[in-house]
Structure 1
Amino acid sequence: MSLFPVHRESTLPDIGDLWSALTSGHFPPTTRGAHLLRVEDAVEDGHYVVRAEIPGIDPAEDVDVSVREHQLTIKAERTEQHEDKGRSEFSYGSFYRAVTLPPGADEEAVEASYAKGILTVSVPLHEPAEQIRKVEVKNAE
């Protein structure tokens, strides 16, 4: 028998969410009360791939994926089904994550898919064009 109840009611964020935010440096800037999405990312076959764990949502209605100024943003909403059948430890509400895209990311060709509770966002990568600008040195005499 446990001395601590499993059910907890708190307005404080989940400690795992806080730790993830502190160690990754990704804080949701304008989404007060939003849960931080857990993600994994990798470069696979010339694509930057981000996977987000978002079970129990309708991808057509509850997810918004956008790209702006080299930032990939994923927002989701999971609404609670009110059934008084017992305890629930599921997280409901808004979920958010923004990641900076790597150099060479093709922001116009981003694709997203959802299967088995995992949102997968794939961004093609191209070799970044080396931009060298010649600077004229003027004689100051």
Structure 2
Amino acid sequence: MTLVKFNPEKKNSSLLPGFNDIFESVLGDTFFTDRRISSLPAANISESNAAYHIDLAAPGLKKENFRVGLDGHLLRISSEQQDESNTEGKNFNRREYGYASFTRSFTLPESADVNAIQASYKDGVLSLHIPKKEEARAVSKQIEIQ
């Protein structure tokens, strides 16, 4: 048996020299990496005693672009936006905007009151307020020491 050490720094291109370099140059290009990273908006999920909060960073959109739906305890947030600006007579070398869409899904816990969800969009952030059911709220009280 032969043991071969794995060295992630050294690319094994003995079979096809330059093969890995081609893929890294194409897939590592900012055009592709920016598309992969920016396809989903970042989400902050927090919890308080009375509710869950979801904040989605989605700047540049309007509240009309969003669709928020509920299927059982699966919360779906999606958006679709298309730039319909006049491009007649323009010769683009590179065009990176014009159409954007995303879908994010969140599974809500059983303690969420799905009938009282509220959503608002302000300053590029879509905020969802999901209250907890009354019986799921944590009760805190001082206990007297005797």
TM-score (norm 1): 0.60
Structure 1, gaps ≥5 residues long? 1-5, 18-34, 129-141
Structure 2 partner of 1:63: 66
Work out the percentage of aligned pairs sharing the same amino acid.
Answer: 28
Instruction: Specify whether residues 87 and 99 from structure 1 end up closer, same or farther in structure 2 by C-alpha distance, changes over 3 A only.
Output: same
* SS of equivalent to 1:36: coil
Choose which of 40, 43, 56 in structure 2 pairs with 1:39. Answer: 43
* SS of equivalent to 1:55: coil
Equivalent residue letter for 1:46? A
CA distance in 1, matches of 2:53, 2:101: 22
Query: Does residue 51 of the first structure (1) align with residue 55 of the second (2)?
Result: yes
Q: 2:82 touches 2:98 (CA, 8 Å); kept in 1?
A: no
Q: 1:63 touches 1:74 (CA, 8 Å); kept in 2?
A: yes
Offset at residue 45 of structure 1 (A):
4.3
Offset at residue 78 of structure 1 (A):
2.3
> How big is each residue's C-alpha offset from its partner over 1:46-79, in whole Å with a ceiling of 9 and x where there is no partner?
11111111111120x2111111110111011122
Offset at residue 7 of structure 1 (A):
6.1
Q: Please tell me the root mean square deviation across aligned C-alpha atoms, in Å.
A: 3.3
Instruction: Specify whether residues 39 and 108 from structure 1 end up closer, same or farther in structure 2 by C-alpha distance, changes over 3 A only.
Output: same
Choose which of 119, 125, 136 in structure 2 pairs with 1:118. Answer: 125
* SS of equivalent to 1:57: coil
Query: Does residue 72 of the first structure (1) align with residue 75 of the second (2)?
Result: yes
**1:1-141 equivalences in 2 (<5 Å):** 8=31, 14-16=35-37, 35-59=39-63, 61-82=64-85, 92-126=99-133, 127-128=135-136
Q: 2:84 touches 2:98 (CA, 8 Å); kept in 1?
A: no
Q: 1:111 touches 1:122 (CA, 8 Å); kept in 2?
A: yes
> How big is each residue's C-alpha offset from its partner over 1:62-98, in whole Å with a ceiling of 9 and x where there is no partner?
1111111101110111223546588665583211100
Instruction: Specify whether residues 117 and 15 from structure 1 end up closer, same or farther in structure 2 by C-alpha distance, changes over 3 A only.
Output: same
CA distance in 1, matches of 2:97, 2:66: 18
Q: 1:37 touches 1:96 (CA, 8 Å); kept in 2?
A: no
Structure 2, gaps ≥5 residues long? 1-28, 137-146
